[in-house]
Amino acid sequence: KMTVKDVDLKGKKIIMRVDFNVPQDKKTGAITDDTRIKAAIPTIDYILKNNPKKLILMTHLGRPDGQVKETLRLDPVAQRLQELIKTPVRKLNDCVGPEIAKAIDASPEKVILLENLRFHAEEEENDPAFAKQLASLADTYVNDAFGTAHRAHASTEGVAHDLPAVAGFLLDKEIEYLGKSLEQPDKPFAVILGGAKVSDKIGVIENLLTKAQVLVIGGGMAYTFLKAQGIAIGNSKLEKDKIDLAKETLQKAKKAGVKVILPVDHLVVDNIDTPTKIETTKDAAIPDGMIAVDIGPKSIALFCDTLKSAKTICWNGPLGIFENDKYAKGTKEVATFITTLKAKTIIGGGDTASAVAKFGLESKMTHISTGGGASLEFMEGKVLPGIAALKDKQ
Ligand code: 3PG
């Protein structure tokens, strides 16, 4: 295992891929959550302490699809980074080319942030020539972008072939926590899955059937599972074309001896945005015309009771529409409950991480992943190209 600790940094130009793909306010462009920037700081601080010639940071922001988009420039990110590391950051207006190479060498600031990599289509195409251009800017490559490790792009995969390449502390920590929890979990190992779509989580379920003892399912995806069991779901979210898959999954789980826990009651509304009726159902069935937006109190009790003996809990996907305070109770209570257990609690990134942050429970979880899609693919047992490229070097 090679990390930034295993390479010589002194006097070297270090290029580091980070995932500063942070959420922004649509109107003002202000960064609304800087967790991902903060998460890279231990590696940044470590590198700077070791006196490199330059630390060149690179990231994507959003999906500009190979075009320069003014709203997706990295200036606000550079600003925030500078505040957080208390060190001046020189932000450049492109990421490759002779001018950029010159600007790096001429920069009085040690820390440099290149412009959004995805302004060049070659980044997502993993174009070898583009990767070489990035590589030519530095002596050593560090990958600390766990959130983008599931993408085989020039800055996450390609460049690792052209330079000495090692992991940063964040990438290393993510692999450690997610990997351990899946490979050698303290048992019982319980998995909580939620979020809108069955199709997003089916790969995770397949992979975990051989590892977990309990699967707790809530959120939008639960209704397709309930429907598969012949339970009425009113106007709740349904993936019609996934009913058979849900049935099969339930059968497979049974065969594998994995307990599957679904909601036994719900919070339902007549309209999600402007409800005139908000009710709790008496059982798992959802009345005609009503839409489930959260798990109900009996489900909260059942989920907590199921989870109380777990030694490892992995959670990916909220249990209701937690962004709306009225529909956040299920996600909040279950999240709060698991922090009281002696279990290892591993939170997948994306929405689940936002939910945990919203409830102020971050410091009480064992690990919160900075990867949304990446943590999901990791839980699916997939090889992440950004990690594989580093392993190939060793
Ligand atoms: C993420 O936010 O999941 C990563 O930064 C990857 O972004 P992408 O889904 O646009 O590739």
Mutation choice for ligand 1 from 17, 19, 375, CB with most ligand atoms inside 8 A: 19
Residue nearest (by alpha carbon) to ligand 1 atom 6: 148
Q: Which tens digit of pLDDT belongs to each residue from 90-134?
A: 999 999 999 999 999 999 999 999 999 999 999 999 999 999 999
Q: According to the model, what pLDDT value does residue 349 have? A: 82
Query: What confidence category does residue 83 fall into, taking pLDDT thresholds of 50, 70 and 90?
Result: very high
Q: Is 377's C-beta closer than 6 angstroms to any atom of ligand 1? A: no
Q: According to the model, what pLDDT value does residue 69 have? A: 97
Query: What confidence category does residue 325 fall into, taking pLDDT thresholds of 50, 70 and 90?
Result: very high
Report the C-alpha dihedral over residues 5, 18, 371, 181, rounded to 10 degrees: 0
Which residues participate in catalysis according to the annotation? 36, 197, 350, 373
Q: What is the mean pLDDT of residues 268-273?
A: 98
Side by side, which strands form the sheet with 89-91? 89-91, 111-113, 54-58, 13-17, 140-143, 165-167
pLDDT at 1 over 70: no
Cα separation, 201 vs 193, in Å, equals: 7
Q: Which tens digit of pLDDT belongs to each residue from 42-78?
A: 999 999 999 999 999 999 999 999 999 999 999 999 9
Percent of the chain with pLDDT over 90: 95
pLDDT at 31 over 70: yes
Q: Tally the residues of the chain.
A: 394
Ligand 1 atom at minimum distance from 60 CA = 5
Å from CA of 148 to ligand 1 middle: 6
4-172+385-392 matches 187-342 in fold: yes
- Residue 351 is assigned to a ligand binding site: yes
Q: According to the model, what pLDDT value does residue 87 have? A: 97
> Is residue 193 within 8 Å of 217, Cβ to Cβ?
yes
- SS3 of 150, please? coil
- Residue 235 is assigned to a ligand binding site: no
Backbone φ, ψ for residue 315 (5° rounding): -130, 125
pLDDT at 194 over 90: yes
Write down the domain spans for the chain.
Answer: 4-172+385-392, 187-342
Mutation choice for ligand 1 from 151, 370, 379, CB with most ligand atoms inside 8 A: 151
Topology adopted by domain 187-342: Rossmann fold (3.40.50)
Query: What confidence category does residue 392 fall into, taking pLDDT thresholds of 50, 70 and 90?
Result: confident
Percent of the chain with pLDDT over 70: 100
- Residue 63 is assigned to a ligand binding site: yes
- Residue 371 is assigned to a ligand binding site: no
Q: What is the mean pLDDT of residues 311-339?
A: 97
- The first and second tokens of residue 311, run together, are 């030694």
Q: What is the mean pLDDT of residues 145-157?
A: 98
Q: According to the model, what pLDDT value does residue 182 have? A: 87
Class of the CATH domain delimited by 4-172+385-392? alpha beta
